[in-house]
Structure 1
Amino acid sequence: MDRPLLSLRSTLVFLLATLAGVVVGALTSLAGENTPHSLLAGLAAAGMAVPFFNRLIDSDATAMRPSGPSSPGMGEGENNG
């Protein structure tokens, strides 16, 4: 089994989400809340951070593609308008 369990992108998304959850949980604890509230706040933040970082770290890099008539997926003679 030579391939990794998770891709580099998935690992980065989960790592950033875990880091966000730990920070929110620690800040909630420092604000004076009890431990169960701090854990719930951290878990909620981590859960909301996964889709955020998943969208933020785009897999197909659409911002780097040139837009124009020679972009992939457009046949000859097709117009966008």
Structure 2
Amino acid sequence: MDRPLLSLRSTLVFLLAVLAGAAAGGLTALAGDSTPRSVLAGLAVAGLAVPFFNRLIDSDTTTVRPEGPAGTGIAEGENHG
């Protein structure tokens, strides 16, 4: 098997979701709630974090260039002449 199971982007999204869930569960446990409630809070945050980080780490690689003065479409500092 030459190719990885998950892409780098997917791995990062899942890692960040797990870290967010662990932090939420740990903070809930430190707040004095019971263990099952802390686990449920961590799982809920991890489940909500996956689509959040998926949208945050967008796969679109297009570069947006800033518009120049007066909406000319030429960025400041570019020399087209």
Output the TM-score relative to the length of structure 1: 0.77
Task: Measure, in 2, the Cα distance between the counterparts of 1:27 and 1:61.
Answer: 36
Match of 1:53 in 2: 53
Secondary structure (helix, strand or coil) at the match of 1:50 reads helix
Map Cα deviations across residues 17-53 of structure 1 (whole Å, 9 max, x no partner).
Answer: 0000000000000000000000000000000000000
Structure 2 residue ranges without an equivalent (≥5): 67-81
Match of 1:16 in 2: 16
Structure having the higher Rg: 2
Percent identity at matched positions? Answer: 74
Task: Measure, in 2, the Cα distance between the counterparts of 1:38 and 1:27.
Answer: 8
Task: Measure, in 2, the Cα distance between the counterparts of 1:34 and 1:52.
Answer: 27
4+ aligned runs moved over 4 Å, structure 1: none
Output the TM-score relative to the length of structure 2: 0.77
Task: Measure, in 1, the Cα distance between the counterparts of 2:15 and 2:54.
Answer: 11
Task: Measure, in 1, the Cα distance between the counterparts of 2:38 and 2:56.
Answer: 26
Pairwise CA RMSD:
1.6
Task: Measure, in 1, the Cα distance between the counterparts of 2:25 and 2:37.
Answer: 8
Match of 2:29 in 1: 29
Q: How many residues align?
A: 67
Q: Could you say which structure has the greater relative contact order, defined with CA pairs below 8 angstroms and 6 or more residues apart?
A: 1
